[in-house]
Amino acid sequence: MASGISVFSLHGTCDSELWKSGAEARKSSSRKTWAHMYVDTGVEDAAAVLQRLGGAGAVLATAPSGDAMGPLVSGLGTRGKLIVVGVPQDPLQLSAFPLVFGGRSIYGTLTGTPIDSEDTLAFSVLENIRPMIETFPLEQAADAYARMMQGKARFRMVLVTGQ
């Protein structure tokens, strides 16, 4: 990859439409969007896969599952960071061993810094990443919200005004 960055899609069990659609659909969706490699955590140990590849410099944890996030610390490389942006209902449970003996860290952020946003956009341009969204007319905002809250949204929900 020209950027020197590899992007992995790690999927575990959850109650979303994408999860229910099956492993092949998730893999296909991940590849279409941005992932260089797909790991189904229902079949493989994500931390072990990441360690076999040299350990991750950073993992951006977007899924709202503490059970899924905690074990990923072991997949980080030395001084790697677990960046939590999805807020799980359940607690993160992890061993202190990989934190202490690898200089790894965990931190949370709502949006990141302005330079993080700039870097993200530059990476998106470099890798030709485009968002996958579902659109709803503004008049159906309540329906879109209900769909999202029921875990039926496949991608980001975007409300559009009359065109």
Q: Which domain holds residue 84?
A: 8-130
Shared domain for 101 and 81, answered yes or no, is: yes
Shared domain for 97 and 152, answered yes or no, is: no
The tens digit of pLDDT for each residue in 99-152 reads: 899 899 998 887 767 887 888 788 888 878 777 788 999 999 999 999 888 877
- Residue 28: inside a domain: yes
- Residue 70: inside a domain: yes
**What DSSP designation does 74 have?**
G
Q: Residue 76: what pLDDT?
A: 92
Q: Does position 6 have pLDDT exceeding 60, yes or no?
A: no
Shared domain for 82 and 106, answered yes or no, is: yes
**What DSSP designation does 90 have?**
S
Shared domain for 114 and 70, answered yes or no, is: yes
Given a contact cutoff of 8 angstroms between Cβ atoms, the answer to whether 68 and 41 are in contact is yes
CA–CA dist 80, 40 (Å, integer): 21
Shared domain for 140 and 107, answered yes or no, is: no
Shared domain for 82 and 160, answered yes or no, is: no
Residue 140 CB-half CA count within 13 A: 13
Angle at 57 between CA 131 and CA 116, to 5 degrees: 45
Q: Residue 138: what pLDDT?
A: 94
Residues paired with 56 in a beta bridge = 76
Shared domain for 123 and 147, answered yes or no, is: no
Length of the chain: 163
The tens digit of pLDDT for each residue in 56-97 reads: 888 888 777 888 888 889 999 999 988 888 788 889 888 899
CA–CA dist 137, 48 (Å, integer): 44
Shared domain for 43 and 118, answered yes or no, is: yes
Shared domain for 143 and 88, answered yes or no, is: no
Query: How many distinct structural domains can be found in the chain?
Result: 2
Shared domain for 20 and 65, answered yes or no, is: yes
Name the residue among 109, 107, 127 with its Cα closest to residue 119: 127
CA–CA dist 127, 59 (Å, integer): 18
Query: Is residue 79 within a helix (H) or strand (E), and if so which, with residue range?
Result: strand 76-84
Q: Residue 120: what pLDDT?
A: 78
- Residue 3: inside a domain: no
CATH code, domain with 65: 3.40.50.720
- Residue 1: inside a domain: no
Q: Does position 35 have pLDDT exceeding 80, yes or no?
A: no
Shared domain for 30 and 62, answered yes or no, is: yes
